[in-house]
Amino acid sequence: MLYEDMKLAFIGTGYVGLVTGACMAELGHHVVCADIDKKKIAKIKKGVMPIYELGLEELVEKNVKEGRLTFTASIADAMKSAEVVFSAVGTPEDKKTGKADMQYVHAVAEAFGKNLNSYKILVNKSTVPVGTADAVRDIITHVSKGGHEFDVVSNPEFLREGAAIKDFLNPDRVVVGVSSDRAKEIMEKIYRPIARAGRPVMVTDIRSAELIKYASNAFLAVKITFANEMANFCELAGANIKEVAKGMGADSRIGSRFLYAGIGYGGSCFPKDVQALMETGKEHGFDFSIIKAADKVNDAQKLRPIQMLKKQYKSLKGKTVGIWGLSFKPRTDDVREAPARYIIEELLRAGAKVKAFDPVAMESFKLSFPDKRVKYVESAYDAVEDADALVVCTEWDEFRTVEYPELASRMKARVIIDGRNIFERREAEKEGFTYFGIGV
């Protein structure tokens, strides 16, 4: 080895824990991934991944075979054998308060304190509010009774679903928040393969590291929302948001990424992180007015397709609507806060019939939205059979190459609500469709 490998433990085999653990093994470290869910661990050991992520199954299989990656349902064993323990448990939004639910993070800290058998580092990999490291340190100190020294580190993840492995191995940056030189040295050792590839490893104080993640996601949420609001104005002013965004994005100070107009952001990060940051602001007596406005606009944006359908039809009762895409973005089966859910809820409330298709996410959607009124079909064209309208909710690549004659022959009425601007208005209208896009 060109560098010293470390013994690492990842607590939680959700999206962050499983992907990051497998990638750390790929870098050459010895990794054990632990989870209290015995059934999940048993499935992973058999090669059945709990999430859909391109290349993950192959990466896990490779590193298990080469002896660098193992799985266990014993949190205690994983912690005792590791030099560095990564907390990668969920921090879901508390629906009553909007705050991040920290019970799982605190449970990991307590377990870490109980199983502290030598100097170790607990790394908060989960997205956590500012000040979490202090709370975690207090828990560990109380539980361990000062038996061994330890450090708490903040190392937020910046993984995009659908491109997570690439993002880990070729990151824009790695952020590490530390409070001691000893922890700094060990964390730099862990990420040495990344640094040697020319990727920046930024070492900061802990609170800055905790905030960088929230600030980044909130800024991107605001940028998306700005593009959507400009798109809504483009419809009134007769402009085209694609051209406006292209002109804006050519400015190096702005950049073209995250300026694509659509029906709002969703997923496991942006919605809950925006809420958590606003609630953290309140705790410090600060009002995030820009972020609050973006959150409000995004909620309304998700229902733009409903507004468009009501322009076309006086009543949606008895109408059949085909839905293309159920995940919040392509290349993932994650349906958390997906616009499709809100659209389908409104359609059903209005008395419409819904037929839905997604290349990957239908099973996930069924579990999160067990309404038997939704009919799931085997292909995109099956979803528009006898439909009064098509609503595109996710920009899967296979939806972009639409065959308009086939679409026309299947549908009862030629109406397209393109929530992701994947089609061209001119082409759709040439084929006799009534086309609604977002700002185009």
Maximal C-alpha separation, the chain = 75
* Residues whose CB falls within 8 Å of the CB of residue 93, separated by 6 or more in sequence, listed in order: 99, 100, 101, 271, 272, 275, 276
Q: Which of 23, 33, 234, 269 is catalytic?
A: 269
Query: If you write DSSP's letter for every residue of 334-396 in order, what string do you get?
Result: --TT-HHHHHHHHHHHTT-EEEEE-SS-HHHHHHH---TTEEE-SSHHHHTTT-SEEEE-S--
Pull the structure tokens for residue 24: 């750390």
Amino acid at 230: M
CA angle, residues 338, 340, 343, in degrees to nearest 5: 125
Whole-number Å distance between alpha carbons of 439 and 421 = 9
Count helices and strands (H / E) in the chain. 20, 14
Contact 388, 319 (CB under 8 A): yes
Residue 393 annotated in active site: no
Catalytic residues: 269
